[in-house]
Structure formats: C-alpha cells, structure tokens
C-alpha cells in the first residue's frame, strides 16, 4: 500500500532506538523526509547510520525534550534544514518511577510526568504552527496500554500516558477542520531497550535469565496478551506509519491498541 507521504516531512522523537527508530525507517522507506531526534547526538548519529541511505532524506538533531530551550533550538534547526514538518511522531518516553504508590516520592512523579506528558506538550507547542500551515498534517502520540489499564507498580507512567490520550483526543477536536489529524497508538510489552531493561531487572530479582523473565511476566502480569510473546517494534511502527499517511484521511481522535489483546476490554 502506497502511504502517499513521499512529499511529506516528518519529525520522530525517541528515534535512536525502539519504536521511534523503526517508525523513522518505515517513513523513510515511503520516501518521506525524516528528522530523527533523541537525547544524545552520538547515539542518534549511530542510529541514523543504520537507517536506509537510499530512501528519503534524513536529518538527526539531538534535544532533551524536558528542556524548553532545547526544544526551541530543535524547532529552528529542523525548519532551517528540512523546512516545516507535516508529521510529528512523539515516541520519546521513560518507564519512570517504579514501585507501589507509597514507595514513590514526589520527585519520582515529577520526573516521570516531565518526560512522558510535558515533553509531548512541549513538542506540539514548538511545531504546531508548522503542522497547521500546510492544510495537511498528522500527529501520532505513542501512549501505552497503561493509559487505560493502570498497573499499580508504575502509576506515574500510567497517569502520564492517560494524560497523553487526553491530549490526543483534545487536540483532535481543534484542528481537524484544517487538515491536521491527531491520533494515538497504545502498545503493550514491545521488544525494545525499555522492556529489555525491565526484563533484565526482573531476571536479576528472580535469579534467572531474560527469556524466563519474559515468559513469567507474560503469564503472571500480562495474562490477556493472547499472542503469547513480546511484540516487535516494527509491528507498532506499521500502525504509526498508517496513521501518518494519506490513507488514514478519516481517522482522527482515535487510540489504536497494538497490544495482543492486553487491555481486557474492547
């Protein structure tokens, strides 16, 4: 399926690894101009070198999305190098403070909300004029199954991602008549550095290896993931790419679950 985005320019955050990197790859292969951003310029350059060189044009600019000044500089660099963006994929995120509610202090809450909710707000604020200007635009937020099915050992993350869904839905009401469509994707347990770290920690606690940690996590903590394995980042990137595309021209304000059935309601 031709996604019809070969003349479009996309910014993908959290793109030196995981879901963000695979989304950048997917959009590049569609011929889009892609700007990737993440925390560290060195790791970002390595990630850029692993992306296809024979596809769309690629730029890589690092920015800490918790820093408004850095986000403003990012916006200037992107505009100067690639022009106004048509597509924003917000995939940067952290697991954040872990533990039961009484084990997490206010700083843990603040740090998690800062990255997982305020960074998306900051990015949209910095790029909204561009996204509205061309009469055609897409924003895709990477939320999580946790947004609607909170787990009690990571409540700051759950609350932040619930906020992201509210942000997506609210924004989808404001600018759709101008052609700017806003949607969210909610994955569950995807094989990326984020869940590698979670599973390595679990393996250490249980005195076992990563594979056993994954199997026990699936059976004990994610019983409704009926496909019975971690998802692959490509499986999320494909859905994001569709939502970024011309093919998704009547999809707005939706939350696509890519979770193997993990959320226990339809």
Q: Do the bridges between strand 58-60 and strand 87-90 make them parallel or antiparallel, or are there none, so unpaired?
A: unpaired
Helices (H), the chain: 18-29, 41-49, 68-82, 106-113, 119-133, 155-175, 193-206, 210-221, 233-243
Cβ 212 to ligand NAP shortest distance, Å: 18
Contact status: 195 vs ligand NAP (CB under 6 A): yes
Contact status: 156 vs ligand NAP (CB under 6 A): no
Distance between CA atoms of residues 77 and 98, nearest Å? 35
151 catalytically annotated: no
DSSP label of 117 = I
Q: Of the candidates 121, 148, 162, 194, which one interacts with ligand NAP according to CB under 6 A?
A: 194
Distances (CA, A) of 162 to 143, 151, 186, 231: 8, 12, 10, 21
Nearer to ligand NAP, 136 or 139 (CB): 139
Q: Six-digit token pair at 169?
A: 């839905």
| C-beta nearest to ligand NAP: residue | 18
DSSP label of 232 = P
Q: Six-digit token pair at 121?
A: 């707000």
**Sign of the four-CA dihedral 55, 57, 62, 63:** negative
Contact status: 235 vs ligand NAP (CB under 6 A): no
Contact status: 40 vs ligand NAP (CB under 6 A): yes
Distance between CA atoms of residues 71 and 211, nearest Å? 38
Distance between CA atoms of residues 266 and 11, nearest Å? 31
Q: Applying CB under 6 A, what is the total number of residues that bind ligand NAP? A: 28
Cβ 65 to ligand NAP shortest distance, Å: 4
Distance of CA 123 to the CA centre of its chain: 12
Choose the binding region for ligand NAP from 86-94, 200-208, 220-228, 246-254 (rule: CB under 6 A).
86-94
Choose the binding region for ligand NAP from 25-33, 87-95, 121-129, 203-211 (rule: CB under 6 A).
87-95
Contact status: 18 vs ligand NAP (CB under 6 A): yes
Interacting residues with ligand NAP between 55 and 74 (CB under 6 A):
64-66
Contact status: 154 vs ligand NAP (CB under 6 A): no
Q: Of the candidates 3, 8, 14, 140, which one interacts with ligand NAP according to CB under 6 A?
A: 14
Contact status: 120 vs ligand NAP (CB under 6 A): no
Q: Which residues bind ligand NAP (CB under 6 A)?
A: 14, 16-20, 38-40, 64-66, 91-94, 115, 119, 142, 144, 187-190, 192-195
Task: List active site positions.
Answer: 157
């Amino acid at each position: 399926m031709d996604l019809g985005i070969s003349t479009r320019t996309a910014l993908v955050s959290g793109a030196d690894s995981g879901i963000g990197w695979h989304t950048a790859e997917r959009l590049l292969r569609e011929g889009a101009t892609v700007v990737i951003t993440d925390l560290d310029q060195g790791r970002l350059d390595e990630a850029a070198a692993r992306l296809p060189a024979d596809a769309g044009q690629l730029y890589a600019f690092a920015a800490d999305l918790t820093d408004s000044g850095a986000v403003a500089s990012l916006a200037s660099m992107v505009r100067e190098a690639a022009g106004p963006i048509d597509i924003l994929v917000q995939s940067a995120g952290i697991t954040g403070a872990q533990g039961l509610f009484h084990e997490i202090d206010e700083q843990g809450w603040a740090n998690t909300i800062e990255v997982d909710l305020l960074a998306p707000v900051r990015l949209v604020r910095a790029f909204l004029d561009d996204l509205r200007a061309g009469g055609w635009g897409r924003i895709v937020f990477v939320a999580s199954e946790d947004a609607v099915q909170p787990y009690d050992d990571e409540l700051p993350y759950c609350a932040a991602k619930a906020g992201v869904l509210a942000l997506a839905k609210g924004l989808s009401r404001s600018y759709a008549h101008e052609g700017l469509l806003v949607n969210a994707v909610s994955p569950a347990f995807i094989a990326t550095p984020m869940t590698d770290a979670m599973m390595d920690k679990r393996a250490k606690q249980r005195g076992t290896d990563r594979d056993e940690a994954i199997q026990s996590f699936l059976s004990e903590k994610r019983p409704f993931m009926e496909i019975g394995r971690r998802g692959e980042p490509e499986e999320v990137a494909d859905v994001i790419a569709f939502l970024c595309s011309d093919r998704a021209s009547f999809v707005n304000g939706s939350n696509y679950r890519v979770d193997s059935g993990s959320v226990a309601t339809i």
